[in-house]
Amino acid sequence: MRKFLPVLMLFLAACAPATPAATATPSPLPFFTATLPVMTTQPRPPTAEAPTTNAPSQAAPTTSATTIVQVNVRAAPSADSAALNLLPAGVQVQATGRDSAGAWIQILAPEAANGLGWVTAVALEIPGDAKALPVVAENSPATALPTTPTPAFSASVTSQINVRRGPAASFESLGLLEANTPVTLTGINQISTWYQIEYAGGENGRAWVAAAYLKIDGLPSGLPLFDTQGNPLSGEAGTTPTPPPATYSAAPEDVDSAENPAVRLTFAPSGPRLIAYTSDLSAPFGDAADWLEFTVVTPQDGQATILYFSLMCEGNGALHAELRQNGLLAQDFPGLLCGQYDVAVRVLGGQPALLKLSADGSATDIRYVRYTLTISTQP
């Protein structure tokens, strides 16, 4: 506005009426004083900063990854954080970052309020180097063992395991615990194969985990006892009361055999990497043996490869295992007992292998075992 003021003044002066010619003295040119309106400038209020969110940017790079086992998607990089979803094995996800220790991977999670969730790194197969992912969170203390003094009846998880509603693999899974997660023991079943633990997602804050997957600090004693359904048993804590007669029944007979196995499994590069099978056996009465056939697809038939076996059991009996391939007993088979996990077994690719599980029939009364066999291509 100020730049155009002199031009306006000259223009007005040029248009002013001329002075009559009767006087010889020229009249001075009129002088106009331009009065501009007073402009008051108020300081601009500071721009409010948008609240910081973790919503994924449309331009944020992602890396494809695949789940290799069933795993929880959590709200934060901690096994104690809320579970948002449960992903089965073989699902492709988009990784967006990691924690500073590389123990947890951040992924796109539509079910989360901010579109992001966290998965333990051991449950993912990530092409290339996972350390190349950007660090988007500091290391969670929940990924390490506690440094504080260990309370009584405490333990830590040795491998990723299910937390279940009751003391058996047949009960509903309430979630997963990652390796090295500390737990507090609050009870034990009468055959010492399952522990009750403190768990926020369980009924009355309690749930169950398999004893074979726990590293227990010391020898807990005095824990309350529960039956096979998770019901409290009467009697002194820490001692097993005499069970009533006929606690276990014979396993129902089935029609599987070496020629007609209960299941036929195939491990291929494009297929599942972990398979679980649950059944029951008993001796000297009932179904005494199960046969399971599996084949590993390899680039060349006869190529040696490694599978990992875990066997979880409940009941009052024991199981024996033998492995055959090409009709012959596998001489290097290390055997498999209830409570063992990640037992490495060498097999030949492209050739069906036959695993036989048998109930121990050395007793005169019924010895019953309900088992879950897990076979995976990775420990």
3-state SS, the chain, equals CHHHHHHHHHHHHHHCCCCCCCCCCCCCCCCCCCCCCCCCCCCCCCCCCCCCCCCCCCCCCCEEEEECCCEEEECCCCCCCCEEEEECCCCEEEEEEEECCCCEEEEECCCCCCCEEEEEHHHEECCCCHHHCCEEECCCHHHCCCCCCCCCCEEEECCCEEEECCCCCCCCEEEEECCCCEEEEEEEECCCCEEEEECCCCHHHEEEEEHHHEEECCCCCCCCEECCCCCECCCCCCCCCCCCCCCCCCCCCCCCCCCCCCEEEEECCCCCCEEEEEEEEEECCCCCEEEEEEEECCCCCCCEEEEEEEEEEEECCCEEEEEEECCEECCCCCCCCCCCCCEEEEEECCCCEEEEEEECCCCCCCEEEEEEEEEECCC
Which residues lie closer than 8 Å to 164 by C-beta, 6 or more apart?
171, 172, 173, 174, 207, 208, 209
Q: Where are the domains of the chain?
A: 63-140, 154-226, 263-376
Q: Is pLDDT at 292 greater than 90 in this prediction?
A: yes
| Chosen CATH of 154-226 out of 3.40.50.720, 2.30.30.40, 3.90.1170.50, 3.40.50.300 | 2.30.30.40
Residue whose tokens read 């768990």:
199
In the prediction, which pLDDT does 282 show? 92
Q: What CA–CA distance (Å, rounded) separates 95 from 119?
A: 9
CATH architecture of 263-376: Sandwich (2.60)
What is the CATH superfamily name and number for domain 63-140? SH3 Domains (2.30.30.40)
Q: Checking DSSP bridges between strand 263-267 and strand 71-74, what pairing results, if any?
A: unpaired
169-203: string of b/e by CB count within 10 Å (b at 16+)?
Answer: bebeebbbbbbbbbbebbbbbbbebbbbbebeebe
Lowest mean pLDDT among 162-166, 212-216, 244-248: 244-248
Residue 5 phi/psi, 5-degree rounding, is -65, -45
Q: Is pLDDT at 299 greater than 60 in this prediction?
A: yes
Tokens representing 257 are: 């055999």
Same fold, 63-140 and 154-226: yes
Closest CA to 248 of 135, 149, 369: 369
Confidence of residue 117 (pLDDT cuts 50, 70, 90): very high
Q: Is pLDDT at 148 greater than 60 in this prediction?
A: no
Beta bridge pairs of residue 371: 279, 313
Closest CA to 212 of 163, 157, 164: 157
Closest CA to 69 of 108, 117, 29, 123: 123
Q: What CA–CA distance (Å, rounded) separates 183 from 154?
A: 6
Which residues lie closer than 8 Å to 284 by C-beta, 6 or more apart?
361, 363, 364, 366, 367
In the prediction, which pLDDT does 37 show? 46
In the prediction, which pLDDT does 12 show? 38
Q: Quick: pLDDT tens for 192-212.
A: 778 899 888 888 889 998 887
Q: What CA–CA distance (Å, rounded) separates 88 from 328?
A: 35
In the prediction, which pLDDT does 8 show? 36
Lowest mean pLDDT among 37-46, 141-150, 272-281, 366-375: 141-150
Q: Is pLDDT at 9 greater than 90 in this prediction?
A: no
In the prediction, which pLDDT does 218 show? 61
State pTM to two decimals.
0.41
In the prediction, which pLDDT does 168 show? 81
Closest CA to 116 of 100, 99, 129: 99
